[in-house]
Amino acid sequence: MRRPFFRIAALTIVGLLALLRPGLSSAVLAQIDPRTALLEKAGWDAIAAGQARTAAAAFREALVADPKNPQLHLGAATAAYIERRNEDARDALDRALALDPKLTRARALLGQVLYRMGDVPGAIRAYEALVAETPDD
């Protein structure tokens, strides 16, 4: 009986946090679903090990549970980029940046993807936006 109570309490807290600080809600939701966090970690570990296909599967599964998580879209884009699926990478990066416009790693990878696709003006725009966001980097 206690489990449903704690889940309801946690969701209530998440709802209140979403009202008070909208940016926190996705981070808190990720903490509520440990399976999604484990899938995200498995995806990044697979990328580090050079296993892009495994990473893509992990991120795809995690996105089913948490489609509004920009880090998951970044992970999916990274796996797609490694596999040279440029259009998929660009689409995932566009979603990540729509969810979190300040996600600099996504913008940097978007510049690489656009350049690889032959869209030099688009790559330049991505890098200009990146420099504007992080002038000290």
Q: What is the pLDDT of residues 19-73, one digit of tens each?
A: 434 444 444 444 568 999 999 999 999 999 999 999 999 999 999 999 999 999 9
Nearest to residue 93, comparing CAs of 80, 81, 82, 106? 106
pLDDT at residue 21, as a whole number: 42
- Indicate if the pLDDT at residue 120 is higher than 80: yes
pLDDT in tens, 64-115: 999 999 999 999 999 999 999 999 999 999 999 999 999 999 999 999 999 9
pLDDT at residue 135, as a whole number: 80
pLDDT at residue 17, as a whole number: 40
CA 2 vs. chain centroid, Å, equals: 33
At 116, list the tokens.
């690889």
**Model confidence, pTM:** 0.75
Nearest to residue 29, comparing CAs of 43, 15, 9, 44? 15
